[in-house]
Chains A and B, each alone.
Chain A
């Protein structure tokens, strides 16, 4: 009995560190709607700065002062980031801020290694909380007790702040309805900055408080960021109490889960999230999102099919690309094939995001399923390559059909997080089911057959499929189905009122996107000759998001350019420098500032500015102005 009690307390202590970071993220998201990918980076910076300060200041006072000071220092960094970077892009399309914070995260990962060195750092133990107290033969670390006490205190303070101060009232109001708060004359700029500062302070505090029990190292950010997102979503976005309950729930399930299934930790949070979101689509304590006043994805330039001149240009471009084997060597062709494959992958996600308004955070699942489909067909069934290429993507299609059914019941960030959960579940199956998938050692020896083995033939195959896929997706966009899908994106209620079965349309779009991603994955398996669980992983999903956002989410085919630019840049940088993350992150941040509508979005804006003003319906015009 004593053991279970102690295990319960241990779970609470784990929950405490999760809660601190999650509460910050939840506050930031609630008010600013920023999916702050850099939250983990601030957590890590908190730990690093606290390490330096607590090593410098001696004594108990020095330690605690160091922790608090570190959190404040990082909060100031957060304020600078908000003022210099994020303020410029609040009006960019939804999720675009994710791209900026992703760039920052990449930069911070390399920067901490440059500043603090590559070795894991061991911080001091907390003065006064070094040992353990005995409880019926079980030891409970006193620092755990400190953390267990701290998190309800922080929760209480936050509650007071939000319920009893004017600032708190404004924050709550902004969480519920940003536009209304702005309309009432509240200075949103400073409200956002102060909220961001508080959120970053909490993240840094969470990191700083880890130094007595963890090692400080440059992968801390990735270790926490996804879990924290999951906790925030399980609790319900913007709900601090929800974040607290979710942190406790997840930590306790883990603490007791490992007693029965020692391998459960790897997937537990995602399983919990999937179940919670299916049962309660807005998290435990979340409320349904108010209908957005601003039409999402409203394009200032209405979409139109290519003119015949543009179509000709596209053909000519394809012809130029097809001539690469005349000038390029093996390496250039292989890189070209890889880029073409990522064009397919990005285009499939772009279709879902821009046409369907459904941002998936787990799109790699269908890419990876396509790749594993190939692996199973070629290695186990021994089918010829052309059959594999046709059938392999069906695994992606099947996965998308199953997961998509549940995912499209949700919307916005909840949709995104449910897709993430499904992707992680698929990833962990590939990772754990060693007998079938080879685990993390993957499936090797999937090389293409002779007719496609040469780099030039494979390159032609890849760009051919890429051109087909992009063209097919464009045709769908301008088909009746595409219009119906856009209707569900722009106004769910109105589209249902005119008889569109929105969920079914969205589900179909999800399956189409998943299948096309599966095609990309299938080609990728042959390009690399192997499949690893990586191709289902979060980082690949994030890469796809970055490509789409970089290209411009409000364009028809911006992802094509986004994929080419991003993939080329990252391959080139990885080859040229060990600091590829720093440079790539920096470039992304600069692009975000320079092209707040994405590269293609920006090009289109410039082109339209040069053109004579097209007559626009008055309603549309006024709608845009009020949204800005």
Chain B
């Protein structure tokens, strides 16, 4: 039988293919980047454009202490196991000095665990789960985006002002949806002990059967609704809700809906007056953001999404950390990153020493329709640092090292 020869020969071919890349050219600093490009192109395309812009800017400004920054980017296909294979390739074959990226929470956690095991610096870009910096946090992992908890806290601040007492929740049935609802409920009930939770709906992520769900929420007759669905589920939910009049005379508080990725597909069906977190790029008038948006539109002739900001700032942050550490030793990178402040399109942000969470915030506003498009109005930037629990609580949650 020839099958085992094939095994050996095949592997030998692979090895030969990998050998050349194992030697990093001097005068370069390589960082690895992993994301779900093929599974979630709607979010990762703008994200990629964002980091490409940042990379260009970093190198135009002289790179990292004179060395050229190179990003090696890999697709994970939306699977934690494949993300680990990619991480391994980046670290073992490409010899990158740090890992960045990831979108889905479980992939972020898988790469974070890999980083902890292999002692590699990991800057998580998108994953929202609180676990990545708290209950499953480790010293090698940092996270850029405002976490689930922070976004919930920002929304609760507005939601608590509503007169509504009867609340229903609808969220996708997986960790993100579950923890978003749990944190929101907890913080909300602390501020407003008079609130009743009258219904909860848990459609499977990506497979909402919107009609019956909307009908079931309506039957509980809530005064306000918390929504955590996003993407195609959100579109179905909103359309069905509009037709059936679910949102009439009801307040709705909604995670992430103001992000262009999720708001734009709703077009003229965008429900008005929802309290949302998001990114109103058309409405932000700060010099930092002006500079970013001009450069972005000049390079891509497209408007930025939130993913663009995240991608851009991920590479900017990586560059700032590498420049300060001036070394590829992970311990020195950690030391450099802890407490490091840097500019961002949303203003100055800091990577906290206590839990490695950045203080990047989010915009909170209300949805409206303008010229057949969904927009956010009355948006206010909420700094991440104002919406985190006390240091004592945080250190209780993080595992001891």
- A14–B173 Cα distance when bound, in Å, is 20
Question: Which one, B1, B18, B77, B235, contacts A332 given CB within 8 A?
Answer: B18
Segment with Cβ contacts to B, from A188-196, A240-248, A251-259, A285-293: A251-259
Please report which residues of chain B, range 1-17, place their CB below 8 angstroms from some CB of chain A when the two chains form the complex.
1-12, 14-15, 17
Check A120/B42 contact, CB under 8 A, given A213-B210, A321-B11, A327-B15.
Answer: yes
Q: Which residues of B contact A3 (CB under 8 A)?
A: 215, 219
CB-based contact B113/A317 at 8 Å: no
Please report which residues of chain A, range 240-280, place their CB below 8 angstroms from some CB of chain B when the two chains form the complex.
251, 254-255, 258-259, 262-263, 265-266
Question: Which one, A215, A334, A560, contacts B232 given CB within 8 A?
Answer: A215
Q: Which residues of B contact A320 (CB under 8 A)?
A: 4-5, 7-9
Q: Which residues of B contact A263 (CB under 8 A)?
A: 173, 202
Smallest CB separation, A395 vs chain B (Å): 19
Q: Which residues of B contact A539 (CB under 8 A)?
A: 79
Segment with Cβ contacts to A, from B51-59, B86-94, B148-156, B188-196: B86-94
Tally of contact residues, A, Cβ under 8 A: 100
CB-based contact A574/B77 at 8 Å: yes
Check A534/B81 contact, CB under 8 A, given A10-B212, A122-B267, A215-B235.
Answer: yes
CB-based contact B106/A578 at 8 Å: no
Smallest CB separation, B400 vs chain A (Å): 14
Q: Which residues of A contact B213 (CB under 8 A)?
A: 258
Q: Which residues of B contact A332 (CB under 8 A)?
A: 11, 14-15, 18
Cβ of A419 < 8 Å from any Cβ of B? no
Q: Which residues of A contact B82 (CB under 8 A)?
A: 574
- A7–B215 Cα distance when bound, in Å, is 7
CB-based contact A262/B201 at 8 Å: yes
Residue on A with the closest CB to B41?
Answer: A118
Segment with Cβ contacts to B, from A73-81, A179-187, A434-442, A620-628: A434-442
Cβ of B136 < 8 Å from any Cβ of A? yes
Cβ of A60 < 8 Å from any Cβ of B? no
Question: Which one, B93, B110, B129, B174, contacts A528 given CB within 8 A?
Answer: B110
Check A441/B105 contact, CB under 8 A, given A7-B216, A215-B265, A331-B18.
Answer: yes
Please report which residues of chain B, range 92-139, place their CB below 8 angstroms from some CB of chain A when the two chains form the complex.
92-93, 105-106, 109-110, 113-114, 116-117, 129, 131, 136
Number of A-B contacts (CB under 8 A): 268
CB-based contact A600/B3 at 8 Å: yes
- A561–B243 Cα distance when bound, in Å, is 54
Residue on A with the closest CB to B42?
Answer: A118
Q: Which residues of B contact A339 (CB under 8 A)?
A: 7, 11
Residue on B with the closest CB to A579?
Answer: B38
- A135–B229 Cα distance when bound, in Å, is 28
Q: Which residues of A contact B245 (CB under 8 A)?
A: 132, 139
Please report which residues of chain A, range 559-579, place their CB below 8 angstroms from some CB of chain B when the two chains form the complex.
560-561, 564-565, 568, 571-572, 574-575, 577-579
Check A223/B207 contact, CB under 8 A, given A266-B173, A568-B14.
Answer: yes
> A283-311 interface mask toward B, CB cutoff 8 Å, 1 = contact, 0 = none?
00000000000000000000000100010
Q: Which residues of A contact B129 (CB under 8 A)?
A: 441
Smallest CB separation, B131 vs chain A (Å): 6
Residue on B with the closest CB to A121?
Answer: B265
CB-based contact A254/B265 at 8 Å: no
Q: Which residues of B contact A317 (CB under 8 A)?
A: 1-8
- A445–B112 Cα distance when bound, in Å, is 10
- A528–B114 Cα distance when bound, in Å, is 8
CB-based contact A431/B77 at 8 Å: no
Q: Which residues of A contact B12 (CB under 8 A)?
A: 324, 327
Please report which residues of chain B, range 23-56, place their CB below 8 angstroms from some CB of chain A when the two chains form the complex.
37-39, 41-42, 45
- A620–B339 Cα distance when bound, in Å, is 78
Smallest CB separation, B232 vs chain A (Å): 4
Residue on B with the closest CB to A11?
Answer: B212
CB-based contact A528/B81 at 8 Å: yes
Cβ of A597 < 8 Å from any Cβ of B? no
> B69-89 interface mask toward A, CB cutoff 8 Å, 1 = contact, 0 = none?
000001111011110111011
- A459–B236 Cα distance when bound, in Å, is 47
Cβ of B326 < 8 Å from any Cβ of A? no
Question: Which one, B110, B264, B269, contacts A532 given CB within 8 A?
Answer: B110
- A227–B209 Cα distance when bound, in Å, is 12
Q: Which residues of A contact B322 (CB under 8 A)?
A: none
Residue on B with the closest CB to A10?
Answer: B211
Check A213/B216 contact, CB under 8 A, given A320-B8, A447-B117.
Answer: no
Check A580/B173 contact, CB under 8 A, given A120-B265, A561-B6.
Answer: no
- A534–B76 Cα distance when bound, in Å, is 13
- A336–B88 Cα distance when bound, in Å, is 13
Cβ of A141 < 8 Å from any Cβ of B? yes
Cβ of B353 < 8 Å from any Cβ of A? no
- A121–B106 Cα distance when bound, in Å, is 27
Q: Which residues of B contact A132 (CB under 8 A)?
A: 243-245
Q: Which residues of B contact A561 (CB under 8 A)?
A: 3, 6
Please report which residues of chain B, range 320-359, place their CB below 8 angstroms from some CB of chain A when the two chains form the complex.
none
- A149–B42 Cα distance when bound, in Å, is 35
Smallest CB separation, B252 vs chain A (Å): 17
Please report which residues of chain A, range 438-455, place their CB below 8 angstroms from some CB of chain B when the two chains form the complex.
439-442, 444-445, 447, 455
Cβ of B297 < 8 Å from any Cβ of A? no
Q: Which residues of B contact A122 (CB under 8 A)?
A: 235, 265-267, 269
- A498–B200 Cα distance when bound, in Å, is 59
Q: Which residues of B contact A328 (CB under 8 A)?
A: 11, 14-15, 18
CB-based contact A7/B92 at 8 Å: no
CB-based contact B74/A575 at 8 Å: yes
Smallest CB separation, B127 vs chain A (Å): 10
Question: Which one, A215, A227, A331, contacts B89 given CB within 8 A?
Answer: A331
CB-based contact B93/A534 at 8 Å: no
Please report which residues of chain A, range 397-435, place their CB below 8 angstroms from some CB of chain B when the two chains form the complex.
431-432, 434
CB-based contact B37/A578 at 8 Å: yes
Q: Could you list 27 A-B pairs, sorted by A, with CB under 8 Å?
A: A10-B211, A144-B211, A212-B239, A214-B239, A215-B235, A255-B211, A258-B213, A259-B216, A263-B173, A310-B1, A314-B4, A317-B1, A330-B88, A331-B18, A331-B92, A332-B14, A335-B14, A431-B174, A440-B106, A441-B105, A442-B106, A445-B113, A445-B117, A524-B81, A530-B113, A574-B74, A581-B38
